[in-house]
Amino acid sequence: MKRLPKRGQYDHEAVHQILDEAFVCHVGFVADGKPVVIPTAFARIGQELYIHGSAASRMLRSLDEGIDVCLTVTLVDGLVLARSAFHHSINYRSVVIFGIARLVEDPAEKLNALHAFTDHIVHDRWQDVRPPTDSELRATTVLKIPLEEVSAKVRTGPPLDDEEDYALSVWAGVVPLTVTAGVPIDDERLNGIEAPDYVRHYTRNRS
């Protein structure tokens, strides 16, 4: 990490916390000699990151060939407004992962990964829904990337202005940004089924 290395974090706890809060990663790879970046859902199990999709997906078919891949995840926590245009910034937490994606062929591991995908988005959801059928499992490709070459980068705190700019008559500070769940909207064919607690009180904080 050469750009602002003081923001780098390399311990597993910091990386895992960011991954477990985020919804989407961006997967970068080269296909047919051209760079491609695809957003996709993901889930973490221990020191492995899993992605999945249709067996017909060009991205998954390309990654299954064992090519190098770069995955990134970013959480935006606030807008940092400085006294100068130059020092405006964003408070964020990000993770960058380099590795080689491997096809998950073991049926039990594949099913466990799909369980993780579901509960990563809505905790405890898997216990209430119908599990995948054999045909659905065949139609789904799951790949895993080891969390070996990985780093986190974090920016927190107020703006950092040049000393002479602190005398300017300009408001400066941070506008916090959070993901907040709204009121659940019932499907019209629920037939009176009430939303469970994990829907009515949805949060990304599982502590």
Residue 93 belongs to domain with CATH number: 2.30.110.10
Contact between 57 and 27 (Cβ < 8 Å): no
CA distance 5 to 54: 38
Residue 179 lies in a domain: no
**How many domains, in total, are found in the chain?**
1
Nearest to 44 by CA among 67, 69, 18, 66: 18
Residue 196 lies in a domain: yes
Instruction: Pull the structure tokens for residue 20.
Output: 């477990």
Q: Would you say residue 5 has pLDDT above 90?
A: no
3-state secondary structure 102-153: EECCCHHHHHHHHHHHHHHHCCCCCCCCCCCCHHHHHCEEEEEEECCEEEEE
The boundaries of the domain holding residue 196 are 5-157+189-200
Q: Judge whether 180 lies within some domain.
A: no
Q: Do 69 and 145 form a contact (C-beta atoms < 8 A)?
A: yes
Domain contains 178: no
Please say if the pLDDT value at position 7 is more than 60.
no
Confidence of residue 57 (pLDDT cuts 50, 70, 90): confident
pLDDT (average), residues 163-192: 95
**Residues in a beta bridge with 28:** 37, 70
Q: Which of 51-55, 82-86, 95-99 has the lowest mean pLDDT?
A: 51-55
Q: Is residue 181 part of a domain?
A: no
Question: Which positions ≥6 away from 121 have C-beta within 8 Å?
Answer: 23, 41
Q: Look at residue 9 and tell me whether its pLDDT is greater than 70.
A: no
Confidence (pTM): 0.88
The yes-or-no verdict on residue 18 having pLDDT over 70 is: yes
Question: Which tokens is 166 given?
Answer: 């602190």
d(CA 185, CA 80): 34
Does residue 31 belong to any structural domain of this protein? yes
Residue 43 lies in a domain: yes
Residue in 198, 168, 149 with CA at minimum distance from that of residue 10? 149
Q: Is 163 part of any domain?
A: no
Computed over its alpha carbons, how large is the radius of gyration of the chain? 21
Q: What's phi and psi for 71, nearest 5 deg? A: -110, 140
CB 113 within 8 A of CB 87: no
Q: And the tokens for 58? A: 């060009």
